[in-house]
Amino acid sequence: MEITDKIAVSVIVPAYNVERFIKKCIDSLLDQSLQAIEIIVINDGSTDETELVIRNNYRNETRVKYISQLNKGVSQTRNIGVDNARGKYLLFVDGDDYLGKDYIKNLVECADQKDSDLVVAGYTMIDETGKIQRSVVPWNYVSCRDESVVYCICAVCSRLYRRDFWINNRFHFVNESGARGEDTPIAMRANLLARNIRTVPNSGYYYVQHIESAMKGLAGFQKYHFPYQTMKEILSEVEDLSNVANDKRFFYVGVYKFLAQFAFQLIQGASENSIKQFVSYTYEIYMNFLKTNTDHSALRVIFSAQWGAIPRIATGLLLFSIKYRCLEFMIRMRKKISSEKNK
């Protein structure tokens, strides 16, 4: 679709069984101080009253574009949102989350002033009662010197993308059954290609934690799993890229960080088969993609990153574990320590 000057931002909202949250989400978007937005809500085959809530409350709201479809998964749903977008920028908001009043305005002003393909903001993790669990505010991004911030905040939400940049680089979400975190490899590729990346010290994306949250289902690989296919596709694409805007060292260290989060945190409680699959996959992508792109500077990048001590140590430990073929042992040791702490 052609860009419409009156629409600054197309906000894409995938909605699946979010009857308890979708009204607060859409209301927060309609209440934005920047009004030049379109809100594309895609009901992805919900089996609860999500559709009824949307139709009853927003049937006459011209800024809300409603699409209903059979269940296709969050990746394909986001792709459909992009296909229907008309704004200069793209913003992704999950149907159970909501935004602070000036959130979109702050991102757009920054993008316009700096001619940015990508602007990264922070987020606040909050429970259903409104109690703040954690708040993340980004630090400054410096291309080729300190790009660590965009690999700390590395999900598709909390980011404003120039739509031309998204389309010209053929970004798309891979429809991988049972995967979660599938948006992170997409965000990593954007980190590598985007011109004039900027950050905004704003944590007004409210990421609501509840029993149905994707990350809760991901813990222990009980319900979801690592985005194996998506990560492999992104690594293959990046290997063939020669002319990139930013530093590939940070990209590859970002991959190690993402793997470390799964290896030492999310995989805890997983079945034997799940652990073996993850370990085998990690060794495979290391040999095929990571090894030749990991030099002595990787550890310097890891330990100079402003991620906090635990993520830095975990990422360095993962790199060591892969190099010396002891990843499965390290995962089991972490699992044992975690079990003993919970006794």
Query: What pLDDT, on a 0 to 100 scale, did the predictor assign at position 16?
Result: 96
Write out the DSSP string of 87-109.
SSEEEE--TT-EE-TTHHHHHHH
Reading the chain (343 residues) residue by residue, the pLDDT tens digits are: 444 458 999 999 999 999 999 999 999 999 999 999 999 999 999 999 999 999 999 999 999 999 999 999 999 999 999 999 999 999 999 999 999 999 999 999 999 999 999 999 999 999 988 899 999 999 999 999 999 999 999 999 999 999 999 999 999 999 888 788 889 999 999 999 999 999 999 999 999 988 766 555 445 556 678 999 999 999 999 998 888 999 999 999 999 999 999 999 887 778 888 899 999 999 999 999 999 988 788 989 999 999 999 999 999 999 999 999 999 999 988 878 776 666 6
Question: For residue 279, which amino acid is it?
Answer: V
Instruction: Reduce the DSSP state of residue 124 to 3 states and report it.
Output: strand
> What is the pLDDT, as a whole number, of residue 217?
47
Chain centroid to CA 90: 14
- Residue 185 burial by CB count (10 A; 0-12/13-18/19+): exposed, middle or buried? buried
Q: Tell me the C-alpha to C-alpha distance, in Å, between residue 45 and each of 42, 74, 290.
A: 9, 11, 38
How high is the pLDDT of residue 212? 65
pLDDT score at 145? 93
Return the pLDDT at 310: 93
Q: Is the pTM of this model over 0.85?
A: yes
Of 64, 60, 59, whose CA–CA distance to 12 is shortest? 64
User: Which conformational region is residue 253 in: left (phi greater than 0), alpha (psi within -120 to 50 degrees), or beta?
Assistant: alpha
At residue 129, the pLDDT reads 87
Using CA atoms, how far residue 174 sits from 76, 177, 182, in Å, is 7, 9, 7
Q: How many CB atoms lie within 10 A of CB 58?
A: 20
Q: Which two tokens stand for residue 301?
A: 């990048």
Distance CA 48, CA 205 (A): 25
pLDDT score at 341 = 67
The 3 state secondary structure assigned to 10-75 is EEEEEECCCCCCHHHHHHHHHCCCCCCEEEEEEEECCCCCHHHHHHHHHCCCCCEEEEEECCCCHH
Strands (E) in 57-200, as ranges, are 64-69, 89-92, 98-99, 118-120, 123-127, 132-136, 159-162, 198-199
